Structure 1
């Protein structure tokens, strides 16, 4: 998809596809017919696809055109919804903002949502927790208005705004703990247990272990953190990682604390790239 493709081009294409006539599409759009033809042709060039079959008698959709029509309608619907939500927020009117969240962000959310309510009184806030990849796609499609995601975001159609750096803490058998923190290389013989739906954490740790000179042993996935702690406490030695500052080291046989040297991941606010909500500065101030 061409980087310069515009919503206007999609809207013109959808109108022509629905009318199957350039003249009728131009009337519906209240513009001249050559402008419609020019923009649709430009869209085809940027996509490298032929979307319409044109003849002196009729216009028909190609197979690529039919598939593109479904996608274009979805993009336009999301853009229209985004404009409505942004307008409500900017005006401080009653509305709903849908926020994608992740585990371990309660303190930041409490603080940010309190600030957001002061900036936009009467707004209704709906939180939605799902894996990071699904959150980004939900923002792109308009299902979510914004999301908090850890790690890099490279998806098209969204904008990621870095807001914070979050430390990582390690939980492991007490014999590995140290007041100075735990060195990764000392964990080479211990299985690493991680949640299956957090590729950011997995990629961060895999890269760090390789930099330390070893491939981590793969332990069973962490599907429930409390169950994992019970298993590790009762004879299943392993190490796992949690977001945030270390809590109290606790009692035998487990220890929780920082890495040596410390490890962090970035936290980002993800919004649609276009149209960006006019209230974006309010959101950034609230949750930074």
Structure 2
């Protein structure tokens, strides 16, 4: 059972409406779709309203991500599965799609070990930062998604995920939305479309005309990884994880276009195939 997995970015510059309308078109064609979403802007807005300063950190390999302490985690649970997920489900219902909102905690949809400390780089020095509420997804409840898809529903998935503590208990924790989408796409063996506010991965991050159209070999993937920096590096990392877990292809493309999912699947973006990871060896 395969499905197209679409990750809708949460940046302020991303307008989700075209994507939601395109989901409706794909569903009308009989295609199965799972939506996974971020919510960085909604999270930052909620933190600001509560007088909490958002905190971002850089890992030693150059990946930029949010540091989520206990206070931020409480806000996170309100902003993403509450506000953003509900808004997207509402938008899909208005587009004629019978959508169901889920967080990774529901039905143990997204589960894996909780991380309470992360390695970061501050002022050029590597440090261990403690108090983090994040996790690494190792298990996806694909049976839950299959049940909904078989019944004609479109799942809309949000983090938090279910973090497993050392004693076996569970804690709701943050997980990167791109990598969450990768885990879902890999579990379902489906194509992954990462919609963002740029048209793909650029060889020169400042020049959209240098967009890398297609990546089919390990050498091309190495060049792609070298070109991707900051938040785009997370998307390349997610692409590698999705392809390694079972996806056939991943496309990084803009959400701000007519029928952006269909356009991405037709090649309008940066398409990364499984051969880029496997070298043609399965």
Question: Greater helix share, 1 or 2?
Answer: 1
TM-score (norm 2): 0.21
The structure whose Rg is larger is: 1
Q: Which has the higher strand share?
A: 2
Query: What is the TM-score of this pair, normalised by structure 1?
Result: 0.21
